[in-house]
Amino acid sequence: MKGLTKHSDTEWRIEPTGAMRVPVVIFASEALIRDIDDKVIEQAINVAGLPGIVGAAYAMPDAHWGYGFPIGGVGAFDADAGGIVSGGGVGFDICCGVRTLHTGLDRAAVLAVQKELADALYYSVPVGVGSTGAIRLDHKGMDAMLEGGAAWAVGEGYGRPEDLARIEEQGRMAGADPSQVSDQAKQRQQQEMGTLGSGNHYLEVQAVTEIYDAQIAAAFGLRIDDAMVSIHCGSRGLGHQIGTEYLKRMAVAAPKHGINLPDRELACAPIKSQLGQAYLGAMRAGINCALANRQIITHLARRVFDEFFGTDLELLYDVSHNTCKLEEHVVDGRRRQLYVHRKGATRAFGPGHPDLPPDLRRVGQPVLIGGTMGTASYILVGTEQGMQLAFGSACHGAGRALSRHAATRRWHGRAVQDELASRGIVVRSPSARGLAEEAPGAYKDVSEVVLVAERAGLARRVARLEPLLCIKG
């Protein structure tokens, strides 16, 4: 942590030295900064040296070691200043994100059928490594999905048109180019639509246990004891294949573009290059894949809730945390078009932003923060201050404190499941190892993470949600 200086109770900086073009800014408390991996510092310094970076290389309070960029990393690049796009700055699970829905029920209604509801959701939503769904896409259908995203899914009968207003990009990322997605990536996705996958992905039924801002909570339709559904997943095999292929291509092409990579995992290409444009087209197709995937899973969950309760699920919001987006931001008093990479960082636009739906624009964007299956998740709201601090970005979850391998040495899946059951949390998963990897103790304190985000001004806490049942990969 050489060169790291404290600027406030929640902000730490490393000023530019050597190849760095901008400072590194880390949002953390004393407790979080003490536990941060030195590799995160090294990766953030490397990001700060990439061509065309603007402002600073940022690390969110949940930052931990990742591939190239730290997870929890944010970097914005100006194409007109030779800026780059990096596959490592987006990640392999393109457009992984969280979708939260109202059930119209309270905690008691869910608890009355808790185990039966968990079983029904588990058998309705395919989950786990290599899981496949009932949807089979041919070549034409695949390309239509990659161009249309959640809007395509709604058109196919998986949801309602009004869902789209509450989804980032209104459910469809413009500029997607399915022709830049390989046949192998498409083949991997042919049977994976409407599936959760594995790792930290989940479908949870949660209860609102605390309200921090009554006015914003009312605007979001949140009340104490409300039962909510949260879905956390991304672009599955297609996104991973896109990341794998383009990172290799970028690493090979870097010398031709005069890019000296301090870490091969930071492989990137100039935004205006043919390779940079090809990746953006493929990555945007990956975004649409994830949006369509969460839309289909919503449809499957709605069928279960209709069967149990005769009720519907109303979408609060859907926002991703592994993307690169072209956005307008004010830097040094001047509006600039920037390619903002958020890897394990959630978009958090403040009040008045034109990209927000009209009924939320006055208060700001819901910022959905996934916790662990044994602690809590949070709903925050974007702030005007956050737009200035880190390009409208916030944390995305608790952040790992232990690697998956270390977690499996410390915990056993069945013991984790039993311990959660003793606390009234029902978990369904096909993988005991997966449960061990995702043991709550393997993560940082999500309450501390979101409190730091609030104190730093990145976003403001609105509500805390605790799990009642979890369907886990």
* C-alpha neighbours within 13 Å on the C-beta side of residue 14: 24
Q: Tokens for 353, please give them.
A: 């932003």
Please indicate if the annotation marks 399 as binding a ligand: yes
Please indicate if the annotation marks 288 as binding a ligand: no
List CB contacts of 218: < 8 A, sequence separation 6 or more.
Answer: none
Please indicate if the annotation marks 109 as binding a ligand: no
* φ/ψ (deg, to 5) at 348: -140, 70
Please indicate if the annotation marks 179 as binding a ligand: no
Q: Which residue has the tokens 């994976």?
A: 192
For residue 267, what are the CA distances in angstroms to 68, 86, 261, 333?
Answer: 8, 6, 7, 31
- Between strands 53-64 and 24-27, the pairing is parallel
Please indicate if the annotation marks 281 as binding a ligand: no
CA distance 202 to 229: 10
157 burial level (CB within 10 Å; 0-12, 13-18, 19+): exposed
- Closest among 24, 29, 35, 33 to 69, alpha carbons compared: 24
Please indicate if the annotation marks 204 as binding a ligand: yes
User: Please, are residues 395 and 60 in contact by the beta-carbon 8 Å criterion?
Assistant: yes
In this structure, the chain runs to a length of 473
DSSP string of 216-240?
A: HHHHHT--TTEEEEEEEE--HHHHH
Question: Other C-beta atoms within 10 Å of 324: how many?
Answer: 26
Please indicate if the annotation marks 468 as binding a ligand: no
Please indicate if the annotation marks 371 as binding a ligand: yes
Please indicate if the annotation marks 405 as binding a ligand: no
What is the identity of the amino acid at 143?
D
Please indicate if the annotation marks 396 as binding a ligand: yes
CA distance 80 to 336: 10
- Closest among 195, 96, 167, 161 to 317, alpha carbons compared: 167
Please indicate if the annotation marks 457 as binding a ligand: no
Please indicate if the annotation marks 202 as binding a ligand: yes
* C-alpha neighbours within 13 Å on the C-beta side of residue 43: 28
**Catalytic member of 64, 299, 353, 396:** 396
Q: Which residue has the tokens 């006055």?
A: 362
Please indicate if the annotation marks 321 as binding a ligand: yes
Total H helices, total E strands in the chain? 15, 19
Does the annotation mark 257 as catalytic?
A: no
Q: Tokens for 289, please give them.
A: 């894949």
List CB contacts of 294: < 8 A, sequence separation 6 or more.
Answer: 97, 99, 150, 231, 233, 318
Please indicate if the annotation marks 49 as binding a ligand: no
- Closest among 26, 30, 55, 110 to 424, alpha carbons compared: 110
Please indicate if the annotation marks 377 as binding a ligand: yes
Active site residues: 396
Residue positions forming the annotated binding site: 93, 200-204, 232, 321-322, 370-373, 377, 396-399, 472
> Which residue ranges are tagged as binding site for GMP?
200-204, 321-322, 370-373, 377, 396-399, 472
Binding site for Mn(2+), residues? 93, 201, 232, 321
